[in-house]
Amino acid sequence: MEPTTAAILGGAAGLLIAFLVWAAITMSDRERAVDPAPEPEVPKGVGDVLAVLRSSGVVLDHEGRVLSSSPAAVTYGLVRHGRLVEPAIQAMVDKVARHGVIEEQELELRRPGMSTTNYVSARVAPLGARHLLLLVDDQSQGRRVEETRRDFVANVSHELKTPVGGISLLAEAVMDAKDDPEAVDRFARRMQGEATRLSSLIREIVELSRLQGTPVLQDPPLVDVEDVVALALEHLRIEAEAKDMTLTDKVAEDLYVRGDQDMLVTAVRNLVGNAISYSDAGTAVGVGARLHGDTIEIAVTDQGPGIPEPEQARIFERFYRMDAARSRATGGTGLGLSIVKHICANHGGDVRVWSDGSQGSTFTIRLPAAPETLDAHGVDVQLAHGDDAPDAASPAAETPSPTLTKEPR
């Protein structure tokens, strides 16, 4: 081959190789420039639905990554850093991702830093071909209500058995002693006492059930606290005289609250009745009322045996008795203080107890003062909770003076 021809062919071959190399580089650059596969998108409208759900809602992909979540899910602590927190729920998600079958379970969850257990219903279902939907409903409140209902029914059944059984036994005793007038009279009196106790128990159960179903009062009328105290004491005057006890009261003028007068009379009467029942004969029970800040405090003070501190947190529970034997002897049902608590709650207030545990107790009902009270006492509503107000938690501030100077009614 001639040199000239060989040079031409060699140049052409070089150009061809150069072109192939350039083409390969260009193809490679184009392949690298192609965008990666897009992440799965949340189906349209799902985010809007999650935003208004009361349930905790989460949308995930099949790898378990959180794509969208409702505010409730974040608040409840189910989602953190784009992943599910609870292993039990993550296991449900993994199972649905593998099998494509809806999974539903009742779970007990404990939130980080909390000692309480939450009961939830969790449901995971496929959402289209590439997504999963998790819904979690908190059942804790319903579970607690159901437990309270069961306890209430059990307690009521137990409490009813005692007087009913007593009446039955006494009826048999009357029949056996029909030829002994004195025995018949004695047993009949005991039957009457059991029947009275049974009637009181049923009445208080009905009252408590009614109060628990009653919301906070709306647009209630004006109630004079002095009238409430007077009516409560009037109902118990004979009972106090039977034990040679003195009822005294000291109520500041122009104290008004918004509420139901009959309910408030019941609350004060229950406190005074307890004070009479648990105090020794010859002692005194005092009732005081005053304005403290923008709150009206009605305090009932006795000279009884006192309430140990560990018991003070429990005495407002239904059917709870610090001394069951003495409570039965006095005819107590264990519902009186619970009724007081619910009446106060329905009026936007509360009830507290103070005792040194050895001698005497003071129960204080605290209710929002009506504007008419603040006007009458020249109290500026804006300053009612000022820094100069006494500490309401201290016995001195919480308790109107037990040494009452007003003469008994």
Q: Are strands 83-84 and 79-80 parallel, antiparallel or unpaired?
A: antiparallel
Would you say 303 and 279 are in contact if contact means Cβ atoms under 8 Å apart? yes
Residue 115 has pLDDT above 70, yes or no: no
153-157, 282-286, 390-394: least confidently modelled range = 390-394
More confident position, 193 or 102: 102
Give residue 34's region: left, alpha or beta (phi > 0; psi -120 to 50): beta
Most confident residue range from 121-135, 158-172, 184-198 = 121-135
Average pLDDT, the chain: 74
Range 194-209 average pLDDT: 68
What pLDDT, on a 0 to 100 scale, did the predictor assign at position 271? 92
CB crowding 55-93: b at 16 or more within 10 Å, else e? bbbbbbbbeeebbbbbebbeebbbbeeeebbbeebbebb
Alpha carbons 163 and 157: distance in angstroms, whole number: 11
The helix/strand/coil state of 291 is strand
List pLDDT tens digits, range 237-268: 888 888 899 899 899 989 999 888 988 998 99
Higher-confidence position of 182 and 148: 182
Element (H, E) at 123: strand 118-127
Rg (CA), the chain: 37
pLDDT band at 393 (very low <50, low <70, confident <90, very high): very low
Q: What is the pLDDT of residue 13?
A: 55
DSSP reduced 3-state for 89: helix
State the pLDDT at residue 83. Answer: 86
**In the Cβ-directed half-sphere of 79, how many Cα atoms lie within 13 Å?**
21
- For residues 59 and 57, what is the distance between their CA atoms, to the nearest angstrom? 7
pLDDT attached to residue 228: 94
Residue 409's alpha-carbon distances to 234, 236, 406, in angstroms, are 9, 12, 9
CB 217 within 8 A of CB 344: no
Give the pLDDT of residue 20: 53
Per-residue pLDDT tens over the stretch 89-113: 999 999 999 988 999 998 887 765 5
Kindly report which listed range (141-150, 341-350, 352-361, 370-379) carries the lowest average pLDDT score: 141-150
Which residues touch 372 (CB under 8 Å, ≥6 apart)?
A: 222, 254, 256
Q: What is the full DSSP assignment across 302-329?
A: E-SS---HHHHTTTTSTT--SSHHHHHH
Residue positions counted in the chain: 409
Burial grade of 218 (CB within 10 A; 0-12, 13-18, 19 or more):
exposed
pLDDT of residue 80: 81
Q: What pLDDT shows up at residue 334?
A: 64
Residue with tokens 């392949």, as numbered in its chain: 31
What are 1-58's pLDDT values in tens digits?
555 555 555 555 555 555 554 555 566 555 554 444 444 466 666 666 776 666 788 8
Tokens 């406190």 belong to 271
pLDDT tens readout for residues 209-241: 665 555 555 567 899 999 999 999 998 888 888
- Give the Cα separation of 297 and 257 in Å (integer): 11
The first and second tokens of residue 380, run together, are 């500026």
pLDDT at 137: 87
Using CA atoms, how far apart are residues 5 and 392, in angstroms rounded to an integer?
A: 114
Contact 58, 92 (CB under 8 A): no
pTM for the model? 0.51
